[in-house]
A and B are shown apart, each in its own frame.
Chain A
Amino acid sequence: MKTKFTTDTKLESEIAYFENINLKLESGDIIDSFKLAFKTYGKLNADKTNAILVCHALTGDQYVAGNNPITGREGWWSRMVGPNKPIDTNKFFVICSNVLGGCAGSTGPKELQNGSDVAYGGNFPSITIKDMVKAQSLLIESLNIEKLFSVIGGSMGAMQALQWAIDFPDRIFNIIHIAGALKHSAQNIAFHEVGRQAIMSDPIWKNGKYFENNEVPERGLSVARMIAHITYLSENAMHRKFGRKLQSRDIISFGFDADFQVESYLRYQGKSFVERFDANSYLYLTRAMDYFDHDETFRKYIEFSHDPNNHLKYLIVSFTSDWLFPTIESKMIVNQLNSLSREVSFLEIDTDKGHDSFLLEEPQLDDVIKGFLTNNFAKIDE
């Protein structure tokens, strides 16, 4: 892949360095230099019309497909992205970058502050979804791609996709918005707050300076993950998967060991999360989601800042059992787009797998994503 460097950008082995770029954040803070870790899959065609940006969710990373060297496991959406998969890398050039504020190689709280040997920690500026998208847009620019064919994401990824439609409508053809919302609801903020409190009340957290002693607030971070994980499932899915089944013993212990399978499952989720995720990054990214709110403004943005002849297409997908980002939230987006006569498709998929459905085996999700991309690509390619 040939890349032309802008004056302030260096692209090295899938890390883009933006130096002296003075990125102004929504909070008013300025990051003078930053880097984004990214991965690409497939080949950019000669006309550069086949690029798709996949945006990861809260705890995702740039390893959307193939092997993830951090975990040694398959990429988080490898069932969706790859050769002959619904997002077909034989056909599309797929880009995925770790968000600004993340902890898989992009500039975030665990990275060193510019020109020093101390990590940001709690000194990292507050990040919003808009900031993440602004950083991504600079990456896309430095890859010399004028217009993305699609921006796709679920959950926090859906927020980014929506932000792309708001901020850069002329630089995309369509978005696929899965299990997202115009705003982060009070209930969702509440769950995030419990997670953050778990981290911050871990004595090892030390105001975000745990790295100074090479320590990790494991207890707090794993509890945060356990709480969050419950919100990604549904009661039916939990019942189907675990019921009241006991873990490796026939009798209950009358104590507080993990008697039930669901307990040991959650403990495992918490424990394995600690190994791959930074506690401060978790604080910053959950906050970014909390601040996301286009409830009042979305319609105005779409109505006034968009050329009505710009046929930006939207595919909005929700899941019946998702109580974190319920269908009604998706339908609010659909309603607003319909009231402006925009080209929108919407499907609520019937499943009991909860919010996590977008990462799991859902044949109807595969079908609509594949069909939407293939047919709309044929239209712009005509």
Chain B
Amino acid sequence: MNKINSIRKDWSLIETLIAEDRKILDIGCGDGGLMEQLENNRNAITHGIELNRNLAANAISRGFNVVHGNAELDLSQYSNNSFDYVILSQTLQAMMKPKDILSELLRIGSKAIVSFPNFGHWKIRLQLLISGKMPVTESLPYTWYDTPNIHFFTIKDFLNLCNEMNIVIEKSIGLTSKGKQFDISESVTGVNFFTHEAIFLLSYKNFEPIKIKSSKRVFAKNSVIAN
């Protein structure tokens, strides 16, 4: 099958975080663009949830497994660990309860991929500092009274929340507003200032299976994290 190119820059980065032949849930999947890309390029089995009726209908018409519904209400129906990856792209800031969603992502999926616009970007800080009004930028293009984005947060806020929730950040990619890409964990200073958009690969704990050997068989047991 021919590889298809990403329509969005963050999609091509998300693809780099995903191994072959995995089962994926895309929350806010739109018309299935990312699902198509991952099925083609990563041989993934994909499922999606989409709130918008017309987008959901498009995705279904294009042959994808998409459920028309609201992630904040409908995630509870999925079983623990039923996906390898759960993707939440550019929507965490629009959720009523971002913390609950984050823990749901890692309950349903072994790993979660979360991307969001960084409210700590220098342009946003500058706008607020100088104009004294809520910033309107290309990644957050809405006025305060008419925005789906109800929870603004910066990379620092997100890192703190992950720490508090015992979430392990396996990989993190930052994008500048010019589309330049860098590893958030390596460039410590100024990350929160220059990152326009951030993509995180999360899991609860990156552990090795404990192997218990008996004379005949090898048992593998997952360790449990103690809080």
Residues of A within 8 A of B (CB): 313, 315, 331, 334-336, 338-341, 343-350, 364, 367-368, 370-372, 374-376, 378-379
Cβ of B77: which chain A residues have Cβ within 8 Å of it? 334-336, 338-339
Asked whether, in the complex, the Cβ of A345 is within 8 Å of the Cβ of B69, the reply is no
Given A313-B65, A370-B61, A379-B63, A347 and B78 contact (CB-CB distance below 8 Å): no
| Distance A331 CA – B66 CA, assembled complex (angstroms) | 13
Interface centre among B47, B54, B56, B60 (most CB of A within 10 A): B60
Cβ of A378: which chain B residues have Cβ within 8 Å of it? 63
Nearest Cβ in chain A — how far from B222, in angstroms? 20
| B 38-74 to A, binary, CB cutoff 8 A, 1 in contact else 0 | 0000000001000001101100111111111100001
| Distance A336 CA – B53 CA, assembled complex (angstroms) | 21
Is B82 interfacial (CB-CB < 8 Å)? yes
With A345-B66, A368-B61, A375-B63 known, 6 other A-B pairs at CB within 8 A are A344-B65, A346-B66, A346-B67, A364-B53, A371-B61, A371-B63
Given A341-B78, A347-B57, A367-B57, A375 and B66 contact (CB-CB distance below 8 Å): no
Is B187 interfacial (CB-CB < 8 Å)? no
| Distance A37 CA – B190 CA, assembled complex (angstroms) | 75
Q: Which residue of A lies closest to B53 (CB)?
A: A350
Nearest Cβ in chain B — how far from A338, in angstroms? 5
Cβ of A339: which chain B residues have Cβ within 8 Å of it? 77-79
Asked whether, in the complex, the Cβ of B47 is within 8 Å of the Cβ of A372, the reply is no
Asked whether, in the complex, the Cβ of B61 is within 8 Å of the Cβ of A348, the reply is no
Cβ of A315: which chain B residues have Cβ within 8 Å of it? 60
Given A338-B78, A364-B57, A367-B57, A345 and B65 contact (CB-CB distance below 8 Å): yes
Task: Pick the contact of B60: A340, A345, A350, A379 (CB < 8 A).
Answer: A345
21 CB < 8 A contacts A-B? A315-B60, A334-B69, A335-B77, A338-B47, A338-B67, A338-B78, A339-B77, A339-B78, A339-B79, A341-B47, A343-B47, A346-B67, A349-B57, A350-B53, A364-B54, A371-B61, A371-B63, A375-B61, A375-B62, A375-B63, A378-B63
Asked whether, in the complex, the Cβ of B79 is within 8 Å of the Cβ of A340, the reply is yes
| B 202-221 to A, binary, CB cutoff 8 A, 1 in contact else 0 | 00000000000000000000
Nearest Cβ in chain A — how far from B42, in angstroms? 17
| Distance A313 CA – B46 CA, assembled complex (angstroms) | 13
Q: Which residue of B lies closest to A370 (CB)?
A: B61
| Distance A346 CA – B74 CA, assembled complex (angstroms) | 12
Asked whether, in the complex, the Cβ of B65 is within 8 Å of the Cβ of A367, the reply is no
| Distance A341 CA – B78 CA, assembled complex (angstroms) | 7
Nearest Cβ in chain A — how far from B197, in angstroms? 30
Instruction: List 7 A-B pairs, minimum CB-CB distance, nearest first.
Output: A375-B63, A371-B61, A335-B77, A346-B67, A341-B82, A345-B60, A338-B77
Nearest Cβ in chain A — how far from B65, in angstroms? 5
Cβ of B60: which chain A residues have Cβ within 8 Å of it? 315, 345, 347, 368, 371-372
Given A339-B78, A341-B82, A367 and B67 contact (CB-CB distance below 8 Å): no
| Distance A336 CA – B74 CA, assembled complex (angstroms) | 11
B120-176 contacts to A, CB under 8 A, are none
Nearest Cβ in chain A — how far from B187, in angstroms? 38
Q: Which residue of A lies closest to B81 (CB)?
A: A341
Q: Which residue of B lies closest to A320 (CB)?
A: B53
Cβ of A370: which chain B residues have Cβ within 8 Å of it? 61
Asked whether, in the complex, the Cβ of A372 is within 8 Å of the Cβ of B67, the reply is no
| Distance A364 CA – B56 CA, assembled complex (angstroms) | 11
Q: Which residue of A lies closest to B59 (CB)?
A: A345
Cβ of A350: which chain B residues have Cβ within 8 Å of it? 53
| Distance A309 CA – B144 CA, assembled complex (angstroms) | 48
| Distance A49 CA – B66 CA, assembled complex (angstroms) | 24
Nearest Cβ in chain B — how far from A328, in angstroms? 12
| Distance A329 CA – B23 CA, assembled complex (angstroms) | 27
| B 80-113 to A, binary, CB cutoff 8 A, 1 in contact else 0 | 0011000000000000000000000000000000
| Distance A315 CA – B60 CA, assembled complex (angstroms) | 8
| Distance A375 CA – B77 CA, assembled complex (angstroms) | 26
| Distance A379 CA – B74 CA, assembled complex (angstroms) | 28
Nearest Cβ in chain B — how far from A376, in angstroms? 6
Q: Which residue of B lies closest to A316 (CB)?
A: B67
Q: Which residue of B lies closest to A313 (CB)?
A: B65
Asked whether, in the complex, the Cβ of A346 is within 8 Å of the Cβ of B68, the reply is yes
Nearest Cβ in chain A — how far from B58, in angstroms? 8
Cβ of B82: which chain A residues have Cβ within 8 Å of it? 341
Q: Which residue of B lies closest to A315 (CB)?
A: B60
Q: Which residue of B lies closest to A373 (CB)?
A: B63
Given A347-B68, A348-B68, A368 and B78 contact (CB-CB distance below 8 Å): no
Asked whether, in the complex, the Cβ of B78 is within 8 Å of the Cβ of A376, the reply is no
Asked whether, in the complex, the Cβ of B78 is within 8 Å of the Cβ of A367, the reply is no
| Distance A368 CA – B61 CA, assembled complex (angstroms) | 4
| Distance A370 CA – B57 CA, assembled complex (angstroms) | 11
Nearest Cβ in chain A — how far from B148, in angstroms? 20
Task: Pick the contact of B53: A313, A343, A348, A372 (CB < 8 A).
Answer: A348
Given A367-B57, A372-B61, A346 and B69 contact (CB-CB distance below 8 Å): yes
Nearest Cβ in chain A — how far from B84, in angstroms? 11
Cβ of B83: which chain A residues have Cβ within 8 Å of it? 341
